Structure 1
Amino acid sequence: MPKRNKRSDQDGIYERSDSPCYWASFTDANGKRVRRSTGVRKSQEGRKEAEALLAKWRLEAYRARHWEEVPPKSFDELMLEYLRARRDKRSHRDDLTRARQLRRYFTGAVMNTLRPAEINRYMTERRAEGVAPATVNRELALLSAAINLANRDWEWGLPNPVAGRKLREPEGRIRWITRSEAAALVQAARGIARSPYLADFIVTALHTGCRSGELLGLEWRRVDLSAGLIHLEAHHTKAAKRRSVPLNQTARRAILSRARYRARHCPGTPWVFCRKNGERLEWLQRSFKLACARAGIEDFRIHDLRHTCAAWLVSAGVPLPEVRDLLGHASITMTERYAHLAPDNVRAAVSRLDGDESRYSHAGEGASAGELREVM
């Protein structure tokens, strides 16, 4: 259990060794000791801001205790507190972008009296602006998360009119290419001299199903060629879960090609996919787009390499749970998007229903193909 500063049992601002922010200790309206992070990082100016926040919380507690006043909470206050408390989230940058969109509509709104009608109007207006349903849902999910955190950790007692309101999202995009198209793409990538890493990147992505960020951030210390594995720690993956990705012979050859490149040009670099000077690759969209154009492949993105890996696996009859584990999907629901690529599996399942057909005696049973055409 984290150690508290000796002053944490008294009213005031204090520091904790396990937190970069100032913490506040005060008595709430029910006479209960509250200890919570101010979300303000430790500094000379930060100390003053933390003191101001503590004074505000004390005043609210006093009013609630003596005047039975429920202090109004504004949208700006809610979102600022939430973003401070969750600044270490992997998606913090995305949260900031979504919060700006929400603020355009809800700034000045009193969260204590927020109603479902206002949420519905937000959804209508954002859709009228041409925003995709998935984007609107993620913006409102942020608002809902902020309300839930405020109620759970800070006892604000706010209504959550977002709950149960969600726009229907279209089925996710699935774009994949055939093996012959993939061969053409790799060949085109080999012809782009300024991007000597592109072909190996494409091959590795196609044969591991790794996300672009997982490969671009891959370090040699997490590559085990003897075991034929790539190790991804939780902070490397979208689902924030550790997983090991096996290398087949094709992917292994691509990684070995990168090892030879490293030995020739930048033996000290920690990155598998890097520039000639050893610097980590941040993106390769331009060269990838050029390779697609040269290969005659349209409407194909880097992330579609991952879709292609999944499509090839499912088409080969690999069970969906195994595909899920390889790709690191958070749930089987994501993997089920590829189920339609294995109709033979379903056909085999239905064929198990066939039994002793003699128990069904229908006229016309066993009709020839010609007779069937006449009936149809």
Structure 2
Amino acid sequence: MSNKLKLTNTNVRALVTTGQDYKVWDTEVSGLHVRVTKAGSKSFAFFYRTADGRQRSIRIGKTTMTVTEARERARALRVQVDQGEDPSQERKGRLTAPTMADLWDAYLEQHAKPNKKPRSIAEDERLWRMHLSPRFAKEKVANVGVAEVRTMMSKMRDTPGAANRSFALLSMMFTFAIQNEWREINPCRAVKKYPENQIERYLSAEEAERLLASCDADENQTAARIVEFLVLTGARKSEVFSMEWQHLQGLSSDTPTWLIPSGQQKGERLKRKVFSRQLSPEAADLLRRWKRECPTPSVRYVFPSPRKPDQPVPCIKGAWDRIRRRANLNDVRIHDLRHSFASFAVNNGEPLYAVGGALGHKDVKTTQRYAHLTDETVRGVASGVGALVGSFRGR
């Protein structure tokens, strides 16, 4: 059954089921029709031909809307068609467009897992699960704009640290989306992060002395020697935990070399197959003594787990809290020992470039953040320049 009539609300309600699909066409707006299915469902739709002659039919909505509303929508669709558009395909594209959940899955598999370390991946997964997914998972990638990002930051204003980390992950996801042509602009670029106070803490010579004395007095000598080694080298905790005897060359000499494999490195150093760190005579002496005195010696790991010598030590949190508390240094973090190493070196007259090389920094700007100058060093620089300029008068 197929016929034409001037559609009204009354005659649309009067259309009956015939046991097969049929259409009733409106005589007022070309292409507008009511489709009645054999099950009795009724809906408005619009039929048109594209510029290249293909036939399309696009659903407008159920007959719960009025005929007047259906005609308005049909006329709007006709304008699009006359302008050369294909509204049916555009709607289909919107329905199948990738969501933020799709973007997250692609980012995780194609970028994070191939390029990030497991701990960083786990942090990304936590941020997505707790902060980003509830807000964005169902949104289309193309529809998330500056306003949505600002709303997220505003709602997280009471936790600025978490907000900034979530913001950073979201920005990386959008950068990935742009690289894969899912969208053209990163909306995060127009939004500012929350200011965070940079915690800069480093040990004075007297504090370092107290800390080392506390290490000697601690019952957990594995943790104590790790802390001492961190002070002596400025190494990262994760690097020291996983250090193996086979990676130490020339340990019997005063200046052995520690070869850190790429899998144990961080950041830009991942590009190096091996990072060579030169150790001081003091660090070498500590390792030699530890090799003789370790209560649970391991043929592989320098600092083995006391319970499982065939595995590296997993954590020293309890012992570290005890060591710093005994030294009255409750505000010092393990990472601050790395800051302290850089500060000791710079205040001892070592150039930033050399200190950065010892720490494994690619960019000297990173080293600058670690290197804290003491007042004495700054005064010494001022005095030296003052004396030099003063000498110019005698020339």
Q: 1:285 to 1:267 in 2, by over 3 A?
A: closer
Pairs within 5 Å for 1:131-170? 131-132=160-161, 135-153=162-180, 155-167=181-193, 169-170=195-196
Give the distance between the partners of 1:350 and 1:99, measured in 2 at CA: 55
1:43 aligned residue: none
Q: Does 1:258 align with 2:287?
A: no
Superposition map of 1:231-270 within 5 A: 231-241=259-269, 242-262=274-294, 265-268=296-299, 270=300
Taking a change above 3 Å as real, the CA distance of residues 125 and 202 of structure 1, as seen in their structure-2 partners, is same
| Cα displacement (A) at 1:84 | 2.1
Aligned residue number for residue 42 of structure 1: none
Query: What is the aligned partner in structure 2 of residue 57 from structure 1?
Result: none
Aligned residue pair count: 289
Distance 2:190 2:280 in 1: 44
Residue 353 and residue 75 in structure 1: after superposition, are their counterparts in 2 closer, same or farther (change >3 A)?
farther
Deviation at 1:137, TM superposition (A): 3.0
Distance 1:349 1:121, change over 3 A: farther
Deviations 1:105-150 (A, max 9, x none): 22322221222111111111112x3232xx4333222222222223
CA contact (8 A) 2:160 2:194 kept: no
Aligned 8 A contact 1:148 1:160 in 2: yes
Indicate the SS of the match to 1:231: strand
Any idea what SS the aligned residue of 1:163 has? Answer: helix
Write out per-residue CA displacement over residues 175-219 of structure 1, whole angstroms, 9 at most, x where no aligned residue. 1222332222222222222x1212321221111100111100101
Q: CA deviation at 1:250?
A: 1.4
Q: In the alignment, which residue of structure 2 is the partner of 1:210?
A: 235
Please give the per-residue CA displacement for 1:224-282, whole angstroms capped at 9, x wherever unaligned. 214511111222122241422221121111111221135x74353x1111234514211
Greater Cα shift, 203-212 or 293-302: 293-302
TM-score (norm 2): 0.66
Contact 2:245/2:301 (8 A) holds in 1: yes
**Comparing 347-356 with 243-252, which one deviates more in the overlay?**
347-356
Task: Give the corresponding residue for 1:272.
Answer: 302
Match of 1:103 among 116, 133, 136: 133
- The answer to whether 1:67 aligns with 2:83 is no
Instruction: Give the equivalent residue in structure 1 for 2:152.
Output: 122
Whole-angstrom CA distance in 1 between matches of 2:394 and 2:217: 64
Instruction: Work out whether residues 239 and 330 of structure 1, in 8 Å CA contact, stay in contact via their aligned partners in 2.
Output: no
Q: 1:343 maps to what in 2?
A: 378
In structure 1, the gaps of 5 or more residues are 1-63, 360-376
**TM-score normalized with structure 1 length:** 0.69
Q: CA RMSD in A?
A: 2.7
Partner SS for 2:277: strand
State the partner residue of 1:197: 222
Give, in angstroms, the shift of residue 334 of structure 1: 2.1
CA distance in 2, matches of 1:294, 1:332: 35
CA distance in 1, matches of 2:141, 2:390: 60
Q: 1:147 to 1:190 in 2, by over 3 A?
A: same
Larger radius of gyration: 2
